[in-house]
Structure 1
Amino acid sequence: MLSPDLLNQLVGPYGLHAEDLVFLRKSQNSVYRARRPSDGGVCIIRISEGRHRTQAEVETELKWVSHLAERGVSVCAPLPTLAGERCVALRQDESEYVVACFEHAPGQQIAPRSDDLPRHTAEYRQLGRLLGHLHREAVPYKLGDTAWLRPSWYESRLLCQDVAAMEDALGKNFCRSLDTLVAGLRQSLDATIGFGLVHGDVSFNNCHFEGTLPWLFDFDNCEYGSFLQDIATVLYDSIYCKALNRFADAELHQRMLPPLASFLEGYSCTGIGTVLDGGLITKFFLLREAIIYVHYHRTLDVENLPQSFRDGMEVMRRNVESLSHQVNVCSLLSQC
């Protein structure tokens, strides 16, 4: 936890004080909720400490999210400091902090279960529409005179610095297979089609729903990549993981079909025209599993996790090392 004195320095430029903050969570960043002194509205404070994120990269992210909000995409717009700055940067001792403030998303989170996914087809359809709208805006988006300061998907901290830091825990075979997967994707992708700034972490965890309408937040992992990457992330995080009953069973694909079909229906109706290449989505789906596996090793005390959780992680490791998966993505797509 950050000290009150440090918090006062970090959020003071927004007219806030440490006692105004309600701690929400810490994963890649420390996140707080507060009420703006100007109008009493709720806002979100995100504090990045290290994590290979520079002030210039954060400012590029905030410009992108502001553009999306101005274009009518349902995202949580950044809020400037009292002096009109996009974010706050502070170096203290050996640590570097970057602070950003955002509007609070309307509505609330939802958590579909494996046994009630068909009841949420409207939410999946609207999430598809939102992502299609975001990708449609990414195609013509230009940064103007600002240098391109977000990484390409294969240069992200999740695939580079995090993997390097956890290399011993991950094992040589896992890291070798991950390198093969990334190299294969880089060779197969056409960077002139369906490319642009992508969210990088679209899931129900990063959405609030106002009725059935989603509001997307947490663009901290946004990067330059394929739109198929975002689609595969939704398929993995918000469909596969929701449909999974601890381990893959005979009915897994049938549980995944209704939400996937609804999501893709919503996505395609925006006219984005992304070609849903099953082979590439399959590889991005497996890449997402690899990223989550690395994340677990980075953030959890794996040795002391329940055995059932560790058994699930073992399946993830074997999938990545064998470059295969229990989910037949191409078959699912062909049925939608």
Structure 2
Amino acid sequence: MNYYQLTPDVIADALLSAGIHVDSGLMALNSYENRVYRFKSDTDGPLVAKFYRPERWNLQQIQEEHDFLFASAKAGVRVAVPMIREHSSVFSYQNMLFAVWPAISGRQLEADNLDQLEAFGEQIGRLHQVGASVTLQHRPRLTTDDYLLRSREVLLQKALIPKKLRGEFFKRLDTVITRACALYQPKKQLTIHCDCHASNVLWNDGPWLLDFDDCRTGPAVQDVWMMLSGSRQEQLMQLDTLLAGYENIREFDVAELALIEPLRAMRIVNYMAWLAARWSDPAFPLNFPWFNTEDYWLQQIGVLTEQLQNLNAPPLSLTSWN
């Protein structure tokens, strides 16, 4: 099966091989790393199928994601768990791995809504309570080697940076990498969501945590900082509210707040490298036409300059807020 040309007939045949019928509404959802489709089954209701990108995660790594979801749901975390057929939640069709979930309806969590933010914090606390007891054997850790050093190599080899900007770009990039590597020294790590931003949380009588495709071992603060936005004072208010919910469930180590800016740097650099690495996928030039333009790389030089300032600034501290 050609991953880049999944037709409705092929999708339906793959799902049927797992005993799941597509009865109506097959629709591609906004996902680029994997191929994700929503549809309705008369037997099982609204469902979402994810076809995993080849050579990204192996079967054992995908199964660890699913096992974490099952353990989290059992502990009362609001997550959707994949469907099981014949004792398996990971299916294969023509060497393509895929899984199916019940569709969760709702609206995107409002990160500036303090009531919603506190409820989200409580769910992340519950998730981390599970993550502290679930050890991943096959999935990687959240490291600077992967997110910064490997990403630099990808950008060096695959990014189409204009020659006149290349020297300045890598000069700024290397300065950010050096500083972020020095600051990123997590002391405690557990199994985390790892990509926990507002688009991966739906609100329906409370928050639902979605899309655990990136889950791995890392510091707890990684599942917190992407919900913060606005001025420093606004972020402190949001953080105070979120952690009030979190600490209803488990203690949060405030020393981890010093990891926020190196984690932000890791996300910025990894995102650039992700686009460069996936540029041969036909979906990427179509959906990210601004990437690899001169304006884009000029903007990234500015982003790296600003991020270096953030890395050199004092970290967020709840002491100054309270």
Distance of 1:182 and 1:110 partners within structure 2: 30
**What residue in structure 1 maps to residue 224 of structure 2?**
231
Say whether residues 1:89 and 2:92 are aligned partners. yes
**What residue in structure 1 maps to residue 251 of structure 2?**
272
Show CA shifts across 1:198-254 (max 9, x none): 11101110011014x10001000001111122223x2xxx322xx3xxxxxxxx223
Structure 1 segment 1-336 matched on structure 2, within 5 A:
1-12=5-16, 13-17=18-22, 21-39=26-44, 41-50=45-54, 52-81=56-85, 83-91=86-94, 97-111=96-110, 117=112, 120-142=113-135, 148-154=137-143, 164-168=153-157, 169=159, 172-173=170-171, 176-177=174-175, 179-180=177-178, 183-184=181-182, 188-190=185-187, 193=188, 195-211=189-205, 213-232=206-225, 234=226, 238-240=227-229, 243=230, 252-295=231-274, 299=284, 300-302=288-290, 313-320=300-307, 322=308, 324-325=310-311, 329-331=315-317, 334-335=320-321
Matched to 2:186, the amino acid is: L
> 1:305: Cα distance to partner?
7.1
> 1:306: Cα distance to partner?
11
Show CA shifts across 1:264-317 (max 9, x none): 22112222343433322332233233334444555523358796x776544323
Other structure's SS at 1:153 match = coil
Matched to 1:271, the amino acid is: R
> 1:10: Cα distance to partner?
2.7
Aligned residues of 2:221 and 2:257 also touching (Cα < 8 A): no
> 1:66: Cα distance to partner?
0.8
Matched to 2:202, the amino acid is: H
Task: Pick closer, same or farther for the CA change 1:208–1:14 going to 2, 3 Å.
Answer: farther
Structure 1 gap segments, 5+ residues each: 244-251
Structure 2 length as normaliser, TM-score?
Answer: 0.79
Matched to 2:246, the amino acid is: Y
Task: Pick closer, same or farther for the CA change 1:15–1:185 going to 2, 3 Å.
Answer: same
> 1:139: Cα distance to partner?
1.3
Distance of 1:141 and 1:201 partners within structure 2: 18
Task: Pick closer, same or farther for the CA change 1:73–1:225 going to 2, 3 Å.
Answer: same
Distance of 2:146 and 2:320 partners within structure 1: 33
Other structure's SS at 1:45 match = strand
Distance of 2:39 and 2:146 partners within structure 1: 29
Distance of 2:148 and 2:46 partners within structure 1: 34
> 1:156: Cα distance to partner?
8.8
Task: Pick closer, same or farther for the CA change 1:17–1:160 going to 2, 3 Å.
Answer: farther
Farther off after superposition, 278-287 or 259-268: 278-287
Other structure's SS at 2:50 match = strand
Aligned residues of 1:61 and 1:222 also touching (Cα < 8 A): yes
Structure 2 gap segments, 5+ residues each: 162-168, 279-283
Task: Pick closer, same or farther for the CA change 1:140–1:26 going to 2, 3 Å.
Answer: closer
Identity, in percent, stands at 20
Other structure's SS at 1:78 match = coil
Task: Pick closer, same or farther for the CA change 1:157–1:8 going to 2, 3 Å.
Answer: farther
Matched to 1:334, the amino acid is: S
Aligned residues of 2:135 and 2:191 also touching (Cα < 8 A): no
Task: Pick closer, same or farther for the CA change 1:155–1:289 going to 2, 3 Å.
Answer: closer
Distance of 2:29 and 2:313 partners within structure 1: 34
Aligned residues of 2:24 and 2:41 also touching (Cα < 8 A): no
Aligned residues of 1:28 and 1:51 also touching (Cα < 8 A): no
